[in-house]
Homo-oligomer: A and B are copies of this chain.
Amino acid sequence: MKIINLDQIKEILDSINIIPTIEKGFVAYSNGDAVIPSVGELIFNNPPGDVHIKYGYIKSDDYYVIKIASGFYRNPELNLKSSNGMMLIFNQKTGVPLGILLDEGYLTDIRTAAAGAIAAKYLAPSTIQKIGILGTGIQARLQLLYLQQVTDCRNAMVWGRNIDKLKCFQSDMQEKGFSVSVTQVMEEITSNCNLIVTTTPATSPLLWGDQIQKGTHITAVGTDSAYKQELDSAIFKKADVIVADSIVQCIERGDIAHAIRDNVINKEKLVELGNILSGINRGRMSDEQITVADLTGVAVQDIAIAKLIYDNFDSFII
């Protein structure tokens, strides 16, 4: 059995391209080729924390995968990261354990960033003038980094509430080759950026319908539960194409869920990301359209990234 630690996982990630495998995962999911039971959950109150167990398999694959991911939000007081966990890989024909990926929650961040890049690749307008990022945390950085794989645009503007965190984001991302401006005024984002990625834990809308210009693509990744919200429901009314990573999940949680509850859109207006990748549904049809992708995170992404790390471990070790 392969036991792979976080440093090794990061080295493997540096040497491979995960996007094609995650794309195949989304296609398998939308095709009905993936078996993804409902998420297992443990909730703790003192201190507050939650654990999610996501698991499943792609029918044509050799593996099944179980991911454990936890968030304990007072961990920083103990000098520990909030998130932790691991991914387990088993043989689908025998149940024999094959790999333990001690990723400490990192692969969840990475597969989420990769999904953002995939959404932009298929939905963003042909020329991206400037990338707008809402939020200054790990996911904000990873979204920008992974967009490098699908666009040549290296101009970004970041919005946040905390000026120190904005400056820190700016300096970190300039080191990575981006030209980054900072703002605390949302209209600067919406008037300058035609690709906007939201990565905050906001619980009320940050982006409003009347702010959104024609020819904008928005990828929303921050809203992954029913009580969070980043996008005003009116944005969905204005949008020409609305994409969900998982329709069944996005109508329960995510920004789409708010728009449906507000009766602004109905389920029939949604298309699934995997069906755009496979060509079953059409995505953006002109540079004038407004498109929105709501990404709430699907276990098929975990399955895809876990097997990629596992398969590449031997060649990496030499």
Contacts and interface: CB of A to CB of B under 8 A. Distances in A.
Interface of A: 1, 3, 35, 37, 40-42, 44, 47, 49, 51, 53, 55-57, 64, 66, 68, 70-72, 75, 78, 80, 83-86, 88, 90, 92-97, 100, 102
Copies of this chain held together in the complex? 2
A33 to B, nearest CB: 14
Contact of A102 (B1, B44, B56, B84): B1
Contacts of A97: 84-86, 102
A42 B37 contact: yes
Contacts of A96: 80, 84
Interface residues of A: mostly helix, strand, loop or mixed? strand
Given A53-B66, A64-B51, A84 B80 contact: no
A44 B92 contact: yes
A86 B99 CA distance: 12
B56 A78 contact: no
Contacts of A68: 66, 88, 90
Contact of A42 (B3, B57, B70): B57
A80 B40 CA distance: 29
A102 B66 CA distance: 15
B40 A37 contact: yes
A66 B86 CA distance: 12
23 contacts: A35-B42, A40-B53, A42-B55, A42-B57, A42-B64, A44-B92, A49-B93, A49-B95, A51-B90, A51-B95, A53-B53, A53-B66, A66-B68, A71-B95, A75-B95, A78-B94, A80-B96, A83-B95, A84-B95, A85-B95, A86-B88, A86-B97, A100-B100
A154 B56 CA distance: 46
Nearest to A36: B42
Contacts of A40: 37, 40, 53, 55
Contact of A93 (B51, B53, B72): B72
A29 B147 CA distance: 49
B72 A94 contact: yes
Nearest to A71: B95
Given A51-B95, A72-B95, A84-B95, 6 more contacts: A49-B94, A53-B53, A72-B94, A75-B94, A84-B96, A85-B95
B37 A41 contact: yes
A64 to B, nearest CB: 6
Contacts of A102: 1, 97
A56 to B, nearest CB: 7
Contacts of A78: 94
The 6 closest A-B pairs by CB, nearest first: A70-B95, A84-B95, A72-B95, A40-B40, A72-B94, A75-B94
A265 B97 CA distance: 42
Contacts of A94: 49, 72, 75, 78, 80, 84
